[in-house]
Amino acid sequence: MNRASSTPNRYFVLILFAVVCFLTVDSSAQEKTSDIAKLVGTWTGESICANKEKFPGCKDEHVVYHVKLTPTKIDTLTFTMNKIVDGKEEFMGEGDFVYDQQKQTLVSEFKNSRVHLTIEFVVKADVIEGIVAALPERTIVRNVRVKKDK
């Protein structure tokens, strides 16, 4: 075969290789997005005080979490966290949670002038459960368990 006739074949192989690579990367990103997208919605449940001796102001709460995708990050969800007071939702805070698809975990950190907390959740189908812990000693403040609303 002469050199001129093999050049188009070489270009074809390179283009085909590039398309396959693109589709592989794209399907991996789509898998991550669809997996994390299953967590979007409203979750309700309980946030129970774990250590009233160390945190005497802590009160058990019925909670509602509104979860949405974070537009700029494919591995992050934004939680709007509310508690129920007199039958109505009362805003507690909003935070981003990084989702680890392999471990099925959600992790966030919250810090202000009074507290520094880590929030660690495990996803089990339509249930999210985990802890809120005070840093730096990692003392568990709350145990949380919420279920996805249908």
- Domain extent, residue 26, equals 1-37
pLDDT at 29: 46
Per residue of the chain (150 residues), what is the pLDDT tens digit?
555 555 666 655 545 555 554 444 444 444 445 689 999 999 999 999 999 999 999 999 999 999 999 999 999 999 999 999 999 999 999 999 999 999 999 999 999 999 999 999 999 999 999 999 999 999 999 999 999 998
CA dihedral 63, 68, 69, 73 (to 10 degrees): -50
Q: Are 82 and 92 in contact (CB under 8 A)?
A: yes
Same domain, 53 and 33: no
Model pLDDT, residue 35: 87
Residues 48 and 25 grouped into a single domain: no
Same domain, 115 and 74: yes
Encoding tokens for residue 30?
Answer: 């789509």
Q: What is the pTM of this model?
A: 0.77
Domain count, the chain: 2
Please check whether residues 64 and 102 belong to one and the same domain. yes
Burial 77-103 (b: 16+ CB within 10 A, else e): bbbbbbbeeeeeeeeeeeeebebeeee
Q: Could you tell me if 73 and 136 lie in one domain? A: yes
d(CA 72, CA 120): 22
